[in-house]
Chain A
Amino acid sequence: MNSAVKVCTHQNAIPILHEIKHALLKLAENNQATTIDLSSLPMTSQDTEQLLSTLGKGEVNVTLTSAGESTFWETQFPGVWVTQHQPHFSSKQLTYIEICLFPSLLMAQQADITDGLNRLQEIMS
């Protein structure tokens, strides 16, 4: 992990860093998760680049291949995750900041578990 935190100087990234700080405090104190949708905010591509650069990369990287490819990584600040979706029906990448213990989308879903169980039983029968 990069211990040297680069200072983000671009004006529109700073408010997001404040929002992340407050959300991280809520996670630490009340285990309350927050999601920030960057595409709903007035940010230039330089703003996004500088924000992600400041957040950096931590210990976890995950790729999800369902309905298009998605990547998840924990930033250098534990509990702060970056999620990027490349939807199968869209040509634009969507970026979210998730402040949580673990992105909920990565957890196995009950319907998929049941489907997987059925397939496993079919293979074994």
Chain B
Amino acid sequence: MSKQYTLMDHLQGQGITRRGFLKFCSITATMLALPPSLIPQIAKALESAKRPSVIWLSFQECTGCTESITRSHAPTIESLIFDFISLDYHHTLQAASGHAAEAAREQAMKDNEDQYILVVDGSIPTGNPGFSTIAGIDNKQMLIDTAKHAAAIVAVGTCATYGGLPHADPNPTNAVAVSDIIKDKPIINVPGCPPIPIVMTGVLAHFLTFGTIPDLDDLGRPKMFYGNSIHDRCYRRPFYEKGLFAETFDDEGAKAGWCLFKLGCKGPTTYNACATAKWNEGTSFPIEAGAPCIGCSQPDFWDNGGFYNALSQPTISIGETAAAAIAAGAVASVAASAIHKSAKAKAAKKHHTVTTDDME
């Protein structure tokens, strides 16, 4: 990587004019979820922006986050790697393997000391170092070693940000998030299972453009992508306001595109950009396809009760238990309220399985 080679040099080398550069800046504003009024500042920043070295580490993960980022359309993964960043280490995407791959990581760390971005996907097992290793190095040690001279860390996916699926009850590997181990570096959490492709590339583009980390919320997420709830930005929100809900997945309400709240939609408590950035090159997002949001960008979403239970409903059948309570002489509403609270607490502690019956 050329240390002095700026993005503008790169674009000019492709014969792109100043007008084309300004167009590039306006598109970058969209990519960064920034208002068009900030285009002049973006242009000024990009004139001297240099391509940062990126080291991508994968720990206890399913490669879904990498699968997702390779579907990025703005920028495309090719453009991201060749125009925006210098991707110096990534298990799945790099050509080198074995010792050559590890040598590439060590060289990138040496050449870009205190300047490279470390991207991590997957949680880190702390129960036994042998649970997950790379080139004989356990995940925790590799994270500590590589984070030492990183300028910033981007934790992508719910596993790296909050522990994710490996962290779900009973958490057999004692999996933890990046932020549980690294305390002395700025960490940008980009959760999602997987995260939206252009949210991942947008965070990298923000670092490239401004050389700083974006504003973060209390869970370490960039506000520009996680500042609104799915519910607030949902195109079905007007149906919620009118009290028009689909009751089953195939009733008239579902066919008419009514709100999916009663079918378990976690949109009201989930913060992400699905409703605006969308998936598959901006085609749609789960709610647009008729599926309720499962809240995958929130901590412990696997353990928060059934995916198809409404947020306002207890996680066990109130009807049967309340009837039993009446028979016993208790007041049904009081019993239901108590059951609701205890069920929620239990669900948070105990993984709640979903069967096909829940979907009917």
Contact = CB atoms under 8 A, between A and B. Distances in A.
Contact of B36 (A66, A87, A96, A109): A96
A40 B276 CA distance: 6
Given A89-B79, A90-B73, A90-B76, A40 B30 contact: yes
B27 A90 contact: yes
Interface string B70-82: 0001111001000
A43 interface: yes
B27 A85 contact: yes
Interface stretch (B53-61, B96-104, B231-239, B311-319): B231-239
Interface in B335-354: none
Interface in B8-25: 11, 16-24
Contacts of B27: 85, 87, 90, 94
A62 interface: no
Contact of B276 (A36, A41, A94, A109): A41
Contacts of B23: 64, 66-68, 70, 85, 87, 105
A43 B282 CA distance: 11
B237 to A, nearest CB: 8
B36 A89 contact: no
B19 A42 contact: no
Of B11, B26, B233, chain A has the most CB atoms within 10 Å of the CB of B26
B281 interface: yes
A47 B36 contact: no
Given A37-B36, A85-B23, A105-B23, A67 B16 contact: yes
Chain A contact residues, majority secondary structure: mixed
Nearest to B28: A87
B79 A42 contact: no
Nearest to A85: B27
Interface in A37-52: 37, 39-44, 47
A42 B75 contact: no
A87 B74 contact: yes
B75 A94 contact: no
B114 interface: no
A11 B24 CA distance: 32
Nearest to B281: A92
A66 B19 contact: yes
Contacts of B73: 90-92
- Tell me which of A67, A70, A115 has the highest count of chain B C-beta atoms within 10 A of its own C-beta: A67
Contacts of A35: 36-37
A108 interface: yes
Residue from B37, B74, B75, B234 having most chain A Cβ neighbours under 10 A: B74
B35 interface: yes
B83 interface: yes
Contacts of B87: none
Interface in A75-125: 85, 87-92, 94, 96, 105, 108-112, 115
B74 A11 contact: no
A92 B74 contact: yes
Contacts of A68: 23
A54 interface: no
Given A37-B30, A87-B27, A92-B74, A109 B18 contact: yes
A37 B35 contact: yes
B19 A87 contact: no
Interface of B: 11, 16-24, 26-27, 29-30, 33, 35-37, 73-76, 79, 83, 233-235, 237-238, 275-277, 281-282, 284, 288
13 contacts: A35-B37, A36-B36, A37-B35, A39-B282, A42-B275, A87-B23, A89-B76, A90-B79, A91-B74, A105-B22, A108-B19, A111-B17, A112-B19
Interface of A: 11-12, 35-37, 39-44, 47, 64, 66-68, 70, 85, 87-92, 94, 96, 105, 108-112, 115
